[in-house]
Structure 1
Amino acid sequence: MSRNAERRAGAPLTNPRSDRVRSVRALARRSVRMQSGRFLVEGPQAVRELVRYAAPSIVDLYVTAAAGERYAAVLDSAYAAGVFVHSVSDEVLAAMADAETPQGMLAVAQQPEVSLTSVLAGSPRLLVLLQEVRDPGNLGTVIRGADAAGSDAVLITDSSVDAYSPKVVRSTAGSLFHLPVVTGLEASATIQELASHGIRTLATEGEAATSLADVDLTTPHCWVMGTEAQGLPDSLATQCDQRVAIPIYGKAESLNMAMAATICLYTSATAQQPLAPY
C-alpha cells in the first residue's frame, strides 16, 4: 500500500481478537444481520461494485497492504466517495471474513430499504419472483442472471434464504448492487399486487402445455420460480396467469432452478429488447 493510502487508511488493525473484528465476523449470522441491518461484502470484485453503485451504504472498508497495492483503483474510488478505509493485517482480515479467501478486502454495508411499492412505481417490464429458494448459490446466480438480462428487480419471499448472507452476496459477483432486490415478501399477496399493476405472472412448470417459445413476452411480466426440489406449489401456479414449460431437447430430466430462471429471463429480454442485426 502506498504511503498516501496508508495515511488515509489510518493505523493498521493487527489484533484478530479485538471487539471490532468479532463484530464484523458476527455478520455471518442472520440474527446479527437482522438486528443491525448490516452485511458483509467480501472480495475486490464485490467491493468494487459496492463502491461504484452503493458507496453511501458502506459503513467501513477493510484492506490488507498487498490488496491495497493490487486494487489501488478500488481504494481510490472509495476515498473519492468518502469511505473510511481501515488497513488490516492478513490475520485480522481472515478473522473477519466468512469466505476462506476474501482476497485481502472486505466491506461492511448497510442493507438497502427496497419495497415492492417502489419497484412497481417504476413501471417494471421484467421481474422474477422466487418462492422458498433455500440454496445460497442458486439465489445468487438468479440475481446475477437477472442483472445480466436487464431485469427491473428480483423479488424474494420471506421463506427463502437471506439475500444478504455472505454466500449469496459472493455468488452475485456484485450484481446485488446493480438492481433492486426486494425481500420478505409473501408469494400469494405479491402475485395479487403484480396483477393489480397489469403485470402478468408466468409459472414455470415442467409439464405445462405451453412452451417457452410460444409465450408472448413483449408485455410486462414476472417469472415465478419455485423451490429447487419441489418446484412451485400448485396453489401458486394456479394463481399465476400462465404455466410455461422450458423445452428440454436432450436427455436431462430437468433443469436447475437457477438455470431455468436465467433461460426464462434471457428469453424475455430478447423479446423485449431484440438484438441488433449483425
Structure 2
Amino acid sequence: MHTITSREHALFKQLIKLEKSARQRRSDCLTLLDGAHLIQAYRRAQGLPIKLIVSESGYQHPEIRSLVSEISKNAEVHAVMFSDGLFKQVSPVKTPTGIIALITIPTTVPNTVNDHQTFCLLLEAIQDPGNLGSILRSAAAAGVSDIYLSDGCADVWSPKTLRAAMGAHFALTLHEASDLVQVIQRFKNSNGKVIAATLRAPRHLYQVDLKGTIALVFGNEGAGLSQQILGVIDEQIAIPMQGNTESLNVAAAAAICFFEKMRQQYYGH
C-alpha cells in the first residue's frame, strides 16, 4: 500500500476540500465516509467505494486491516496510507477512527414523485447537520422511502450529517434542492395526504389517521414552516406535551410522528 506523507499530494488536497466544502462535494459529486461502520453500511447498500484512506496507526487495528484487505481485493478500489499527522487533518472528527472512504454521491431528480411512494418526508430549511442526520436515521427505521430537502437545508452529504445518520442515507432516496410546493402538489395528485407538524395545530398527532399514503412535513428549527408550505398542505398536527414545555427538538418531534404512523399502520388507529 502506498504511503503519503506530503501535504502537497493531490489526494490530500482533494480530501481537505471535500471535508470542508459543501460546494466542492456538490461539484465533484463526492463525499467522505468516516469509520468502518459507515463504510460497511455503504458497501452493503451501494457497493464499493472509490478509494480507502487509512492512517498508519489505524491500520494496526484488526477490524480496519481486515476491511481494507477485503475491499482491496477488487482491483477497482485503491487503498492508500496517510501518516497519522496528515490523516488527522483530513478526518472530519476530532478523534480519528483510522479509516475514511471516498464515495460517489448518488444522484436523484429533485421533485420526482411516483405511485410507489407511500411514506415520504419533506424538510424545509433544517439547518443543523446533527438534527438532519438524526431525522434520516429515524426515518429509515420507520419505513420512509423518499426524503425531499428544500434549499436552505444543511448539506445532507456532509461528513457530520453522515455520521449522525449512521448509514441511513443508503436506505433512503434523497432529493436535494427540491421545490417542496411542487412535491406536495404532485404527492396529492397521486392520492397522498400531506401533513405538517406545527406547534399550534387544531388537532394533535394521536387524533389523526396516519394510515395509507402519507407525506410528513417539518420545518426550520427556529422559524418553523413557511406560509407558502402551510398554504398547500392538507392538515396540521401538533404533538401534545405536558407541563410548560413549549416545543421539542425537530429530530425528536419527527421520530415521534414517524413511529406513531408505524404504530397505526401495524395496529390500527
Deviation at 1:70, TM superposition (A): 3.1
User: Within the alignment, does 1:46 sit opposite 2:38 as a pair?
Assistant: yes
Amino acid aligned to 1:155: Y
Separation in 2, partners of 1:179, 1:234: 28
* Pairing 1:211-230 to 2, within 5 Å after superposition: 211-230=204-223
Which of the numbers 119, 126, 140 marks the counterpart of 1:126? 119
Asked if 1:92 corresponds to 2:86, the answer is yes
Give the whole-Å Cα distance in 1 for the aligned partners of 2:140 and 2:70: 23
**In the alignment, is the contact (CA less than 8 A) between 1:134 and 1:160 conserved in 2?**
yes
> 1:257 Cα shift?
0.8
Q: Which has the higher helix share?
A: 1
Aligned-pair CA distance for 1:224: 0.5
Number of residue equivalences: 264
AA of the residue aligned to 1:29: S
Query: Does residue 151 of structure 2 align to residue 158 of structure 1?
Result: yes
User: Cα–Cα, structure 1 residues 151 and 77, in superposed 2: closer, same or farther, change >3 Å?
Assistant: farther
What are structure 1's unaligned runs of at least 5 residues?
A: 1-9
Q: Distance in 1 between matches of 2:8 and 2:36?
A: 24
- Determine which of 72, 77, 82 is the counterpart of 1:83: 77
Q: Which moved more, 1:158-167 or 1:223-232?
A: 158-167
Pair 1:12 & 2:3 matched: yes
Q: Which residue in 2 is equivalent to 1:4?
A: none
Three-state SS of the structure 2 residue aligned to 1:176 is helix
Q: Which runs of 4+ in 1 moved over 4 A?
A: none
Which of residues 94, 97, 105 is equivalent to 1:111? 105
Are the structure 2 counterparts of residues 244 and 254 from structure 1 closer, same or farther at C-alpha, using a change threshold of 3 Å?
same
Deviation at 1:204, TM superposition (A): 0.7
Partner residue of 2:185 out of 188, 192, 197: 192
What's the offset of the Cα at 1:266?
A: 1.1
Alpha carbons of structure 1 residues 128 and 195: separation in structure 2 relative to 1, 3 Å: same
AA aligned to 1:126 is F
Aligned mates of 1:76, 1:19 — CA distance in 2: 24
Partner SS for 1:87: strand
Post-superposition offset of 1:273: 3.3
> RMSD of the TM alignment (CA)?
2.0
Match for residue 96 of structure 2?
102
Shift of the 131–117 alpha-carbon distance from structure 1 to 2, 3 Å rule, reads closer
Counterpart of 1:203 (choices 196, 203, 207) is 196
Output aligned runs, 1:31-42, within 5 Å: 31-42=23-34
User: Matched residue of 2:95: which SS?
Assistant: coil
Instruction: Give SS of 1:217's match.
Output: coil
Q: Give the TM-score taking structure 2 as reference length.
A: 0.90
TM-score by length of 1: 0.88
* Secondary structure in 1 matching 2:2: coil
Offset of residue 26 of structure 1: 0.4
Q: In the alignment, which of 18, 24, 28 is matched to residue 15 of structure 2?
A: 24
Deviations 1:141-195 (A, max 9, x none): 1111111112112211122111112211121112112221111101211111111
Unaligned runs of 5+ in 2: none
Structure 1 contact 64–87 (Cα < 8 Å) conserved: yes
Separation in 1, partners of 2:229, 2:70 = 45
Alpha-carbon distance between aligned partners in 2 of 1:60 and 1:250, rounded to the nearest angstrom: 52
- CA displacement at 1:123 relative to structure 2: 0.8
**For residues 219 and 268 of structure 1, what CA distance do their matches in structure 2 show?**
9
- Letter of the 1:97 counterpart: S
1:16 Cα shift? 3.7
